[in-house]
Structure 1
Amino acid sequence: MSEFVLKATPPRMPRAALERAHLHDAFRHRHDRTALTVVAPAGFGKTTLLLQWRRWWHDAGTRVAWLTAGEDDRPARFTLALQHALRLGGVLGEANDQHAPRRDTIAELTTLLAAIAALGVDVGVVIDEAERLPEDTVRGPLQYLLLNAPANLHVAIGTRVALPLLLSELAAKDQSFALKTEDLRLRLEESLAILDARLGDRLTLDERARVHGIADGWAIGLQLAISAIESEPDPARAVQHLSARHGAMQEYFVTSLFARLPPETSACLVRASILEHFDARLFQSVTGCRQPQDMLDRLARETPILAAGEGTQWIRLHPLARDFLLGKFEKLPPRERSALHTRASSWYAECERWHEAATHAFAAGDDALAQTYAARSLWALSTIGKLAEAREWLERLPHAMVAGDTDLRLVAAAVLAFSDRNGEALAFAQDVLADREATAPARAHALRIAAGSAAFGDRLGLLPALVDRWPMSHDAGGGPLSTLAGLNTRALSALHTGDGGQVRAYVAAQQPHGDAGTLRLAAALGRMLGALSHLWEGHPVRAEAAVLPALLHAERDGRRGMIACLYASVVAAARYERGDAAQAQALLADRLDVIERHGFPDNLVCAYRTLANIALEAGDEAGALAALHTLESLGARRGAPRLQAIALAHQVRVHAMSGRKETVARTLDALDHLDPAFDEPDMQPLRSEYRLAVAFARARAALMHERLDAAELHLADADLLAETLQRGNDVQRVKVLRGIVASRRGDPKAMTLLREAHDLAALAGNARLAADTHPLAARLLEEALDTPPPPAQPKSRDRHARAALLTSKEAEVLDLLGKGLPNKAIARALDVSGETVKWHLKNLFVKLSAGSRRHAVERARMLGLVT
């Protein structure tokens, strides 16, 4: 029958289909399960993945049949179509009883399953568009097929919605496996690869990252964006003006999505487009929808336009869908638009969500009410890391409103502390601290502002006096936020004196307080300081493990959030040191402006030094110098001489490698001119770091001039300073440069020094130390070892990442969890109680930023903790 031939013919594989490593790995480890399901809305690449699975099955010697389901596939027809698919796919031969009277579907399926079992080879059946199957087919023959499948039969099902299948028995036997929307959502590196393949170098890395953010991991959304960019003569401008309100994107939303929705649903979505996030109650309050939960559940299941957060009832619209809907919202009558914003503002105000209440009051035209709400929003925004939004509101508030309210001025100072106006915030905080009539809470608040301003401005000499006055009890005006800020202040001081263990002790002391609500930013800064301590000690694996799960969690609120960007600067530095330059660069893509505005000095150093190193590795000396000049300019603008010193010292490194003697001399003079700045009391704690940078720079200059005795003297200074500051990488860099000096002298101990530095760095996970320190070091090591240099990009995470992130017992639980074992089976395997297993699972969920068992395993695979 011709119609069955068409149903059994796989569609054409998209020409530019991307083979996604984590999905290939998932198939490789689970292709032998009985039931493999892929559940995701339209446009996430289900059919493409099923086609790849079909090919991979074929490559493994499995016989594969394809069946595209339809609404007319009632039980008998479905069974007949399946028989034709198996025959047309070459799985089974022609039946001898084609003209015999038809038996019932269960009997037919039983005969079919017996024939498959008799083959003695693996058989795969792919059923695509299974959401179209009638319910009696799903509950009847499909259910029977799965529950009675012989060991050599594997069924892959692609569907837009979860099917009413009872798979608990298969799950208990570890014979089922499911992929969902989040598994199919494109990751940044995948979007970058697709954009590079289609557009080449027409877009910068930042622009490609921006397109990824707009598409939000939706495969067809990315393809639509690419089509829009391809047709424009100016790709950069096309990225800036990407919109779903015109062109092919608009046409897709009109014809492929919204044309299929009931008018009432479309109307509600248009009105809800003014909301960044919503739950059923807010959705109903604004839109007037009569059954909001049913509507939202159906839209989340059947379309790609809604995304639900894990462990929460809050939902957001896909950015492109929201853009399209806002275009329609703007065509509503002005009075209706204002009324909708007023409803939203009132709802948020009742929930004391003042930022959102102010936003909608302002959109409704009620400026006075918006200012009142905005003033009340500043505190929360400043403590959860939404400082850009807080500053915008602060600039809209009347000066008299702020000036006449001491509490509001304190809140405003908390916002300005992490900005280029941190000097103003520090001055006001010091005024409050000098005021004998200030209340204990006001003094505690002022101490937090002063410490934040000093840290942001790199004026660490102010911190000890602030710590001495810090209240560490609620009765003294403190509180959880004050406690965390005090611990962070102590940790930052310890970091710059080289006491990494003490840094981590202060960070560990924060854990009982949690990291939710107003503690979010403070807890994030503490976690970041702990990661920096590992990085400075020369342990990039530990640094990455300390903060990567938190980065993944923070990115749920967007890649460009302040907290996500600060984390990313540290992870990028660690990734580069581990040899993964491409991933390090991707981590920083479309984030530098946020890091510049809101990053602490150490974030700027991590970001721009990493970019300079990446450019040098690629042979782009001009790019490296541009990054270092930017860091120098930022230091000058912020009044942070340490940043200028680090940038200048690395410029000496670049110019010395090329033998530019006059430029090196001029750059060294600029370094020397910074010296008096570190005599100032505010800067004295940073003098050792400045001296270390100068020692390295002078050693490199002496090497360039072949003044080997002078180079050794400067390296001796650097060695002592690096040991004092516990800068593990710098200690090994000294060894490398001493090895270079020895090689210039013809001293046989040269290779001993180089090998020792190389081996110690490798043990800590640093794959780039020798090559970054001096190009000759890498060549000498390569010749001595008689092996090619280590690959630039590691294929997998090493065991150090696992050891740094998990306890041994957590690792054992995770392994068993990855095998699909339930809690009782894990408890039996490890000879522990069920409560102990639950406790370990809870810790795993926290460390992996996971909301479920499946999510924990997927996060662990992404981190390379399980295979």
Structure 2
Amino acid sequence: MPPIAAPGPSGDLLLKVTPPRVPRELVLRSRLMAGDVRLRECPVLLLQAPAGFGKTSLLAQWRREYLGSGDVVAWLSAQQRDDPSRLIQSLALAVRMGAARPTFGHTLLDSVTTPDGLEGITAWLAEVAQSALSLVLIVDEADRLPPASREALAYLLRNAPPNLRAVVAARADCDLGFGDLIAYGQCLVLGQAALRFTLEETLSLVQARLGARADADTAARLHELAEGWPLGVQLALSAISASADPQAEVLTMTAPRGGLREHFVGLMLANLEALDLAFLTRIALLDNLHPELCRMLTGDDDASRRLERISRETPVFVAAEHGDWLRMHTLARDALRQRAEMLPLTERNGLHARASSWLAERGLLEEAAGHALLAGEHDRAYDLAERSLYESIMVRGRQGAVIAWLDRLPEAELDRRPRLLLAAAWSLALSERHEEAGRLVARILAGPEVDAALRCECALILGGAAVFADQPDRFADLHDPWAESPPLRDPLLLFVHANRTAFRTLLEGDPALARLRQQQAPRGDFGRALEYVDRWGEFIVGLSYVWEGQVLLAESLLRPTLARADADLGRRSAFSCMLAALLAAAVWELDRPADAAALLANRLDVLERNGLPETVLLAYRTLARAAMAEGAEHRALELLAGMHAVGVARGLPRLCLASLGDQVRMHARRYRADSCRRSCEQIDALMADPATPRGRLWRRHADLLSELAHGYAAIAAQDWRQAIEPLARAEALVLELGQTRLHIEILGLRAFALDRCGERSQALLREAVDLADTYGLRRVFADAHPDLGQWVLDAAPAGAGRPTPAAAPVRPDAERDGGRPRSTPSMALTPKEREVLELLARSLSNKEIGRAMQVGEETIKWHMKNLFAKLDAGTRKQVVQRARILGLLSEEG
């Protein structure tokens, strides 16, 4: 009787353990690198999120990283019919393929009877431990496993030997029984919040897919449309990749009835039961969700569990704000609110009224006021608004919400409610509507019972309006009478006054003293009450650092401040955008253009309307310099023209001067003397205009812009002697203002001009380079003039102040050796086998491989035999293909 043949692995098992193809545009998520200490030291990683959160893509990224660090990776894609016996066979085959060990698990795969259940898992674990491989087991779609196999997987992880780590991906609604592992710190869970794309990751993906066809603003709009949902971003990219105008396509998508918007909503709400849909329709009337509020609103006693289940199963809820509070994805909320509009009016009013009562009882007065208004309870809404809106602008920085209320409040209600009038005046002052703020202050001061404290607060309001109107001399006149002993009792207003005192000192040209003044603000345990005005203090300190060129200190301060502001106020809030403009200017000087572009993406329009003039100037200047560095001079000139238009529209002549001055600087780079001359004539005309401010503080900044422009114009005409005088006058003004970065630029330009005049300039150049090195200013000379930048490279010693030549783009490993394929470090192959594999991938014969390795042909045949066995291949071509599939050979360049 002939022996019974071992069954061996079936074809579908081979497909289960074959890793997916890695797309070329895969976004490498640096914050989720497998080598991160937090991820590397945990024996089990669990990715749990609904469909569309990029779990498989992240697993593919980690697999490449594990292979690159020399680990053996066993991949397993779970299926519904994977009973414990089939799961054991899959595990054995996964290690056999990943480790290129044809004999691994032969008792589990090649015998007539495979050990079943926990006995089989134990045998697999024992063989893994005995192999001494550094093994990473990746199990994708573990939620598809039947209950018995989930228990077997949990048993495997609880009894894993030290040389085994595991990564498991599953949908969020799946209980894999890992609770004890999580509780004891043996399993780290990454959920929706961790897997959502950051803006930087979306920018990277858009750049990879669309290249120069889409700018950073387009990518940021797309990111905000999808709110970081990876599948949403991918769908949007697929829809616009065939479009001739991606920017226009994204604008179409963001429209309320955009086709892709409807598609997104369909994906989010797919397979919802009728009761769930009705529940979501009614709670969509709320901006922020709490289980108890949802229960009261809908009458559903099971509201808490329903929220939790829908959050697990769908991407409808995108963020947990704090505690039990949730927020609904904007796209889903907008679509569901359209459904809510079809509810009977009496039901809608009842929902809003119940929401208002619940929120008011818990002190959430602003939200309660909004729902009371929508419920038709106008008097109650105005009362709640009066009690809440002053705090909204002063404590929470919700300027837009206050202005929105102002636009729908009857004039008579404002006069009846002084607290509302104050809130409205503060909000309008901190925007381009500063003249309206002045009229409201006049109404406040015309009222009865106006004491010194109220007059001082009104001076603070008008001072803020003067700052946003770029009227520093008026700001000084309003601030100085109250500078020493303000008659204020509210700690909030005292903190605002301290911030203004610091800003007043900065205007006089003493950044260090300004920081000291800010540090003298009232201190104490004020909780969240002073958080917003405290951030304004950090803004002023950051501005002082940028002002004097301390960009390293500026970044260390502003980076966390901006992150908190984005989280609390929103990425497109006016305050966040102003912080971003400061930080972008700092990181640009540190020669990180991509970082600067990401910070300003889809924020410029907010700055144009509501930004401080200094932040508008910095944002436009940073973007124009970035465009110039990329060789897009037409785009740079367009941006500078945009800055001029904003200056005209908002009545800010200094922005017009800065625009013209930067245009002179740009033309001077190419020695366009006539263009520089015409821009300088426009500057002179603007300076001579009787409508142009004449105050000392304003004129000092304006004179600096004018003198510097004339110095650049002389450089453009190559009249080097003529350039020295305006540069010297500009330097004197810069020293008065304490603007060290600009002082370094002028030092470099003066040295450059003196050198062209044949005079000694090396001492001046060394001083400029040394200062730039001290402050970390890597772009200062290259941005000033390309010939100056080159001269510094040629003449100055090495240092951070030297402009860095454009770095060659980093290529993947496969391209670093003339495009030749390279083997990745792995325990699956010996070093000699890896070397043979590399040469084989270059289509060399055994004899040629032997000559290259300086060994005999028989030795190469022996190595080839091992490669054929380990990779389960029948031909030389299959060896190379299998090595690529397993990640043992990088792709050719």
| TM-score clears 0.5 | yes
Counterpart pick for 2:352 among 312, 316, 341: 341
Secondary structure (helix, strand or coil) at the match of 1:149 reads: coil
Secondary structure (helix, strand or coil) at the match of 1:512 reads: coil
CA shift, 1:684, in A, is: 2.0
Secondary structure (helix, strand or coil) at the match of 2:169 reads: strand
* 1:716 aligned residue: 728
* 2:696 aligned residue: 684
Q: Would the aligned equivalents of 1:460 and 1:682 in 2 still touch at CA under 8 Å?
A: no
* 2:860 aligned residue: none
Counterpart pick for 1:35 among 21, 38, 44: 44
* 1:741 aligned residue: 753
Q: Would the aligned equivalents of 1:458 and 1:683 in 2 still touch at CA under 8 Å?
A: no
Q: Which moved more, 1:572-581 or 1:421-430?
A: 421-430
Letter of the structure 2 residue corresponding to residue 702 of structure 1: A
Provide the C-alpha distance between the structure 2 equivalents of 1:15 and 1:668, rounded to a whole number of angstroms.
50
Cα pair distance change 1:331/1:431, threshold 3 Å? closer
Provide the C-alpha distance between the structure 1 equivalents of 2:26 and 2:149, rounded to a whole number of angstroms.
32
Letter of the structure 2 residue corresponding to residue 183 of structure 1: A
Q: Would the aligned equivalents of 2:74 and 2:136 in 1 still touch at CA under 8 Å?
A: yes
Q: Provide the identity percentage.
A: 35
CA shift, 1:608, in A, is: 1.4
CA shift, 1:600, in A, is: 1.0
Per-residue CA distance 1:151-201 (angstroms, 9 max, x = gap): 3222111123375425669976xx755533333221212212322333445
Provide the C-alpha distance between the structure 2 equivalents of 1:427 and 1:259, rounded to a whole number of angstroms.
52
In the TM superposition, 1:612-623 aligns within 5 A as: 612-623=624-635
Secondary structure (helix, strand or coil) at the match of 2:138 reads: strand
1:165 equivalenced with 2:185 (yes/no): no
Q: Once superposed, what is the RMSD of the aligned Cα atoms?
A: 3.5
Counterpart pick for 2:284 among 264, 273, 279: 273
Per-residue CA distance 1:396-423 (angstroms, 9 max, x = gap): 2222322454443333211211233313
Counterpart pick for 2:611 among 571, 594, 599: 599
Letter of the structure 1 residue corresponding to residue 784 of structure 2: T
Counterpart pick for 2:557 among 546, 552, 577: 546
Cα pair distance change 1:273/1:38, threshold 3 Å? same
Counterpart pick for 1:116 among 128, 139, 156: 128
* 2:804 aligned residue: 790
* 1:128 aligned residue: 140
Letter of the structure 2 residue corresponding to residue 198 of structure 1: R
Per-residue CA distance 1:365-394 (angstroms, 9 max, x = gap): 556655555555532332233323322221
Cα pair distance change 1:246/1:536, threshold 3 Å? closer
Provide the C-alpha distance between the structure 1 equivalents of 2:379 and 2:662, rounded to a whole number of angstroms.
52
Cα pair distance change 1:629/1:686, threshold 3 Å? same
Structure 2: gaps (5+ residues): 1-9, 811-893
* 1:655 aligned residue: 667
Counterpart pick for 1:458 among 470, 491, 498: 470
In the TM superposition, 1:495-514 aligns within 5 A as: 495-510=506-521, 512=523
Secondary structure (helix, strand or coil) at the match of 1:242 reads: helix
* 1:319 aligned residue: 330
Provide the C-alpha distance between the structure 2 equivalents of 1:446 and 1:696, rounded to a whole number of angstroms.
38
Q: Which moved more, 1:581-590 or 1:683-692?
A: 683-692
1:526 equivalenced with 2:540 (yes/no): no
1:777 equivalenced with 2:788 (yes/no): yes
CA shift, 1:777, in A, is: 1.0
Give the number of equivalent residue pairs. 790
Q: Would the aligned equivalents of 1:225 and 1:249 in 2 still touch at CA under 8 Å?
A: no
Per-residue CA distance 1:279-312 (angstroms, 9 max, x = gap): 1122222233222222222333333221333543
Q: Would the aligned equivalents of 2:640 and 2:663 in 1 still touch at CA under 8 Å?
A: yes
Secondary structure (helix, strand or coil) at the match of 1:316 reads: strand
Q: Would the aligned equivalents of 1:69 and 1:129 in 2 still touch at CA under 8 Å?
A: yes
Q: Which moved more, 1:604-613 or 1:512-521?
A: 512-521
* 1:668 aligned residue: 680
In the TM superposition, 1:246-285 aligns within 5 A as: 250=262, 253-254=265-266, 257-285=268-296
Q: Which moved more, 1:52-61 or 1:766-775?
A: 52-61
Provide the C-alpha distance between the structure 2 equivalents of 1:662 and 1:14, rounded to a whole number of angstroms.
51
* 2:313 aligned residue: 302
* 2:838 aligned residue: none
Cα pair distance change 1:734/1:88, threshold 3 Å? closer
Structure 1: gaps (5+ residues): 797-867
Q: Would the aligned equivalents of 1:123 and 1:153 in 2 still touch at CA under 8 Å?
A: yes
Q: Would the aligned equivalents of 2:84 and 2:148 in 1 still touch at CA under 8 Å?
A: yes
Secondary structure (helix, strand or coil) at the match of 2:161 reads: coil
Counterpart pick for 1:189 among 196, 200, 205: 200
* 1:845 aligned residue: none
Q: Would the aligned equivalents of 2:34 and 2:62 in 1 still touch at CA under 8 Å?
A: no
Counterpart pick for 2:441 among 419, 425, 429: 429
Letter of the structure 1 residue corresponding to residue 178 of structure 2: L
Q: Which moved more, 1:199-208 or 1:646-655?
A: 199-208
CA shift, 1:456, in A, is: 1.2
* 1:766 aligned residue: 777
In the TM superposition, 1:236-251 aligns within 5 A as: 236-242=247-253, 250=262
Q: Which moved more, 1:779-788 or 1:633-642?
A: 779-788
Provide the C-alpha distance between the structure 2 equivalents of 1:791 and 1:658, rounded to a whole number of angstroms.
19
Which entry has the higher C-alpha Rg, 1 or 2?
A: 2
Provide the C-alpha distance between the structure 2 equivalents of 1:239 and 1:219, rounded to a whole number of angstroms.
16
Letter of the structure 1 residue corresponding to residue 743 of structure 2: V
Cα pair distance change 1:750/1:28, threshold 3 Å? farther
Cα pair distance change 1:311/1:347, threshold 3 Å? closer
CA shift, 1:520, in A, is: 4.4
Provide the C-alpha distance between the structure 1 equivalents of 2:808 and 2:697, rounded to a whole number of angstroms.
37
Secondary structure (helix, strand or coil) at the match of 2:523 reads: helix
* 1:627 aligned residue: 639
Secondary structure (helix, strand or coil) at the match of 2:277 reads: helix
Q: Would the aligned equivalents of 1:432 and 1:443 in 2 still touch at CA under 8 Å?
A: no
Provide the C-alpha distance between the structure 1 equivalents of 2:584 and 2:187, rounded to a whole number of angstroms.
37
Provide the C-alpha distance between the structure 2 equivalents of 1:708 and 1:6, rounded to a whole number of angstroms.
73
Cα pair distance change 1:296/1:700, threshold 3 Å? same
Q: Would the aligned equivalents of 1:498 and 1:724 in 2 still touch at CA under 8 Å?
A: yes
Cα pair distance change 1:477/1:754, threshold 3 Å? closer
* 2:494 aligned residue: 483
Per-residue CA distance 1:80-110 (angstroms, 9 max, x = gap): 5433433454455242475476667444333
Provide the C-alpha distance between the structure 1 equivalents of 2:52 and 2:355, rounded to a whole number of angstroms.
31
* 1:417 aligned residue: 429
Provide the C-alpha distance between the structure 2 equivalents of 1:297 and 1:632, rounded to a whole number of angstroms.
51
* 2:71 aligned residue: 62
Cα pair distance change 1:461/1:341, threshold 3 Å? same
Q: Would the aligned equivalents of 1:444 and 1:482 in 2 still touch at CA under 8 Å?
A: no
CA shift, 1:225, in A, is: 2.0
Per-residue CA distance 1:41-99 (angstroms, 9 max, x = gap): 32111111112222333344433222233556565654454334334544552424754
Q: Would the aligned equivalents of 1:678 and 1:686 in 2 still touch at CA under 8 Å?
A: no
Q: Would the aligned equivalents of 2:264 and 2:331 in 1 still touch at CA under 8 Å?
A: no
Provide the C-alpha distance between the structure 2 equivalents of 1:691 and 1:45, rounded to a whole number of angstroms.
55
Q: Would the aligned equivalents of 2:468 and 2:612 in 1 still touch at CA under 8 Å?
A: yes
Q: Would the aligned equivalents of 1:39 and 1:179 in 2 still touch at CA under 8 Å?
A: yes
Letter of the structure 2 residue corresponding to residue 379 of structure 1: Y
Secondary structure (helix, strand or coil) at the match of 1:157 reads: strand
Secondary structure (helix, strand or coil) at the match of 1:41 reads: coil
Provide the C-alpha distance between the structure 2 equivalents of 1:249 and 1:492, rounded to a whole number of angstroms.
44
* 1:702 aligned residue: 714
Q: Would the aligned equivalents of 1:580 and 1:794 in 2 still touch at CA under 8 Å?
A: no
CA shift, 1:489, in A, is: 0.9
* 1:807 aligned residue: none
In the TM superposition, 1:561-576 aligns within 5 A as: 561-576=573-588
Greater RCO, 1 or 2 (C-alpha within 8 Å, sep 6+): 2
Cα pair distance change 1:590/1:93, threshold 3 Å? same
CA shift, 1:515, in A, is: 8.3
1:85 equivalenced with 2:85 (yes/no): no
Secondary structure (helix, strand or coil) at the match of 2:106 reads: coil
Q: Which moved more, 1:753-762 or 1:74-83?
A: 74-83
Per-residue CA distance 1:705-745 (angstroms, 9 max, x = gap): 34433322222222222222221111111211112112212
Q: Which moved more, 1:109-118 or 1:327-336?
A: 327-336
CA shift, 1:125, in A, is: 0.9
Per-residue CA distance 1:313-371 (angstroms, 9 max, x = gap): 22111223323433433444444334333333343344454443344344445566555
Q: Would the aligned equivalents of 2:664 and 2:680 in 1 still touch at CA under 8 Å?
A: yes
